[in-house]
Each structure stands twice: as structure tokens, then as C-alpha cells.
Amino acid sequence: MAPDDKPYRVYKGGRAKGKVPAPRGAAGTRPARGEGGRYRGPGAVRQARTGRLAFLRGVRWRRWIPIGLATLLVLFVIWALASFFAVEGGVSDANKRLDAAARAALTHQGGLLISHATTILVLGTDNAPIAGRTSDNHSDSIMLVRTDPSHHRIAYLSIPRDLRVPVPGVGNTKINAAMQFGGPALAIKTIAQFTGIPINHVVVVNFADFKELINAVGGITVDVPDAVRSNRFDCPYATQTQCQRWQGWRFRKGSQHMDGEQALVYSRIRENLLNPRESSDIFRSSRQQAVTQGVLSKLTSFSTLAGLPFHGGSLVKPVSTDLSTWQLFELGWVKFRSSSGSALHCRLGGDSSSYGSDLTPSEDNVTVLAEFLGKSAPQLPNPANGPFAPGCAVGHTLT
């Protein structure tokens, strides 16, 4: 040892600012723990993870967002194409079932349904394969549906089938006779002439086949305003004795799920034995309107749209229409965007006349037509004008 060297180091007294220096070689390391979380001793260094887990930890989660979005987009495109082609076959058949005369009677409309107001005539026939109904081609249900995409609203106008109006080439008779005399073409001309509203599209629904459509979508939900017990029509039993003991069809008050058979029966009820006031075609029309709206709501539901690639073609089996596949998708989008609480429900009315069950059109029908077109505020039917008074309501059907 050199004379000037000291066997020890000299440190200045006092406190030094800053952190206490770590032991050499320990910087950047963490004490590692073994299996069970036990400390493995000084100097042990945690081993780096390898394999798939290390790769996933190394890729930031933000990088997965565009991958996920791209995957969803591809799946959506596949679903949309499969749905379109599944529905297209059924729509093609539905277009062929509508004759050329009916197409010629329509008022052509330019533009898309999703951006232009559109009026659609819905005619319901009920030529079921039972006695007295096989050759019947009257329009048991007559309804105008008007879409208003700019206000996300749909308006429904129910027209009583017993309303006595001029039918071109026939004379004054019930409005539903136009369908019997001249098919959809004459019905379109008669209703357009009577209401003064151009009709852009038509949908003819066979109620006898309607139950298949309702069953195909898993049933519908219908709000029954009052308890109903019908007379003994369309008895479900095989013998006359059973039918005589049977009390008729019953529906409780309130919202309820119906299959195809139940919805078809409900739409046919004309007489409510629990409420004599509900014994006219006006109330049957309101029930048919409720069933039709229930079908429209179910057709635009998520469950139905998701299953379009599998049963899309069967949904238009009971329908004859001029609407194309793309226009039906547009109509579904408008219905999906519209609020049921803002839907406008209107009906035309009349007074009992000397022509049996015929109704003479009410003078207030002109006001209701203006309300249906959105030109004036909706007004409820005036009870003082009788049980068949016209009017409109927002958010619920008229009873």
C-alpha cells in the first residue's frame, strides 16, 4: 500500500438530496416471485413471457379496432346480399301475381321511398276455402298507408268496406264491390277518385294465407282495446254438437301475442257479444288494421331481419304487389325509423242509410282526409255523430 493511500474512504457528513442509490446491477429489475407468489431471493430476475401471450400483449388494443370493424362490415355485406336474394325470389312471384291493369292505374312516383312521401293502398281479401267464401273477391279490408320520411311518421287511413261510393262503370254501391267487379285496378281507381289521393303503390293481401306469414315470423303482438267474445263463426270443432256448446272466440283485453290462426280469427270478428256497440264493419276494420300493423312491426324487427337469408322468400307469399325488392327494403327502413307513438290512425265514416248495411259517406270525411295528409291537426271522432263517425288519433288505433 502506498504511503499516501488510506485503507478507508472519507465521506463528508450531512444529508444528500435525492434518492438513495440502488445497489449496482439492480437498476431496472424487480424482485421475482416463484410459483405460489413466494419471493425467490435477491438477484432473481423475472423471466420474459414468450409465445402467443407475449405477442398479444405486445400489440396494442387500438390496432384491433379497425380489424373488428372490417370483420363486421364483411359480415353485414354477406347478410345483406343473402337477404336481398332470398327476398327477391318471393317478390318476383308477388309482382307476377299483380295484373298489368292494376299497375297502369297507379300514379307513378319519382324518387326513393326513404326520402319521398308515398301512399300505398293495402287491400285485404278473404276468399278462404270454406263454403260461401271461395269465389268471394271483395276487399274485406281497405287501408291507405302514407309514409312521411321527413317526419319519421306513418299514417294509416281505414276505409269501411260498406261505404257507398261511385264505382266507375258500375254505379253507386259498396266500395268493396270494386274489387269484385274489376279486381285491384278498379279498386285503385275507385278509391283514388273518392279520396282525391293519388295512389303510388298497391299491396293485395290474401287473409286466408296471412296466417302462414304470421307463423313464419314467429307470431305478432296485438293490443286488444276491450275484451272480445265473437259469435260462432268458423267453428274449430268437427261436430255440430260441439259447435253448439262452444261459446265463440275469446280475446282478453290488453297486449297479447297471437299466432297466425289467432290473428286471422281476430281480424274476422265483426260482432263483439260483450259490447253490442262493437258490432259493425268499422270495428272489424280497426281489428284488421291492428293485425296489419302488428305484421309490419314484426317484419321490421331485429329477429325477422336477422333471419331474412333463411325465410325471406316466404314473407311475401300471401302478397301481390308492384313494389320491388329494393322498395320493400326501403319501406322497412322507413317503418323502422318511425315511432309507433307518433303514428297517425284515421278512419273514414258514414251514416246508416236506407240501403241495408251500406253507409252514406260523412261530410266530415273531407276533414279527415286533410288530417291524414298532414294538412291539419288530427281530431278524434265525435261521438255525437254516431258510432261510425270519422276521425284520427295519434299513437293508438280508433275503437
Q: Is residue 387 a contact partner of residue 280, using CB atoms and an 8 Å limit?
A: yes
Amino acid identity, position 29: T
Find the distance separating the first CA and the last CA of the chain, reported in whole Å: 117
Distance, CA of 180 to CA of 74 (rounded, Å): 49
The SS3 assignment for 271 reads strand
Residues 6+ apart with CB under 8 A from 90: 312, 313, 314, 315, 316, 317
Nearest to 296 by CA among 156, 395, 199: 156
Q: On the CB side of 181, how many CA atoms lie within 13 Å of its CA? A: 18
Tens digit of pLDDT for each residue in 145-201? Answer: 999 888 888 999 989 888 999 999 999 999 988 998 999 999 999 999 999 999 999
Distance, CA of 167 to CA of 188 (rounded, Å): 10
Supply the DSSP symbol for 46: P
Could you tell me the pTM of the whole model?
0.72
Tens digit of pLDDT for each residue in 313-358? Answer: 667 777 888 988 888 888 888 888 887 778 888 989 888 765 557 8
Angle at 324 between CA 160 and CA 88, to 5 degrees: 120
Q: How many CB atoms lie within 10 A of CB 395?
A: 11
pLDDT value at residue 353: 64
Q: How many CB atoms lie within 10 A of CB 226?
A: 15
pLDDT value at residue 13: 52
Distance, CA of 5 to CA of 141 (rounded, Å): 117
Q: pLDDT below 70 — which residues of the chain?
A: 1-62, 79, 83, 85-86, 126-137, 279-281, 300-314, 353-356, 399
pLDDT value at residue 333: 84
- Class assignment of domain 74-394? alpha beta
Bridging pattern class, strands 118-125 and 201-206: parallel
Q: What are the two backbone dihedrals, phi and then psi, of residue 10, each rounded to the nearest 5 degrees?
A: -105, 125
